[in-house]
Amino acid sequence: MTDLYTASYRAYQPCMGLGVVTSLGLPRWRPEAKSWPRCWLLTPTPTLFRLDDWADFQRDYTARLDSFGPKRIARTLERIARDHQADRIVLLCHEVDGRECHRGLIATYLLATTGEVVTEVTREGRP
């Protein structure tokens, strides 16, 4: 499997791996983001973003991931990696702290369902 990482748009640098968009909107200050592949399976819906309670978001977002299943998610990420000849994928979104956004939930979900470790990387490229 391709190595998976997460990062915020602000921390991401191309040397970290292939940036993959998992947010509804793109960062306006990074025009190159328009050319990055998207993974809609991992993108929260507008309805999820309207939830005020973090516990509700966690429950409903995890249910969304369950509806696709870990195998489909893994196949989609592998296809993105293959199509872009990447051996490292960095799942990106706007939130600065990955522990309090869907990036962290993706990492937790993949670890629990596949054993795949997904590490958050910082601006310096370190976990």
Rounded CA-CA distance 83/85 in Å is: 6
Q: Which residues of the chain have pLDDT under 70?
A: 1, 124-127
Name the 3-class secondary structure at 64: helix
CA 76 to each of CA 20, 25, 42, 51, 73: distance values in angstroms, whole numbers, following the listed order: 11, 20, 10, 27, 5
Q: CB–CB of 11/30 below 8 Å?
A: no
pLDDT at 35: 96
pLDDT at 36 (0 to 100): 97
Quick count: other Cβ atoms within 10 Å of Cβ 16?
A: 19
pLDDT at 125: 54
60, with CB counted inside 10 A (0-12, 13-18, 19+), is middle
Predicted confidence at residue 13, as pLDDT, reads 94
| pLDDT computed for residue 1 by the predictor | 62
pLDDT at 124: 61
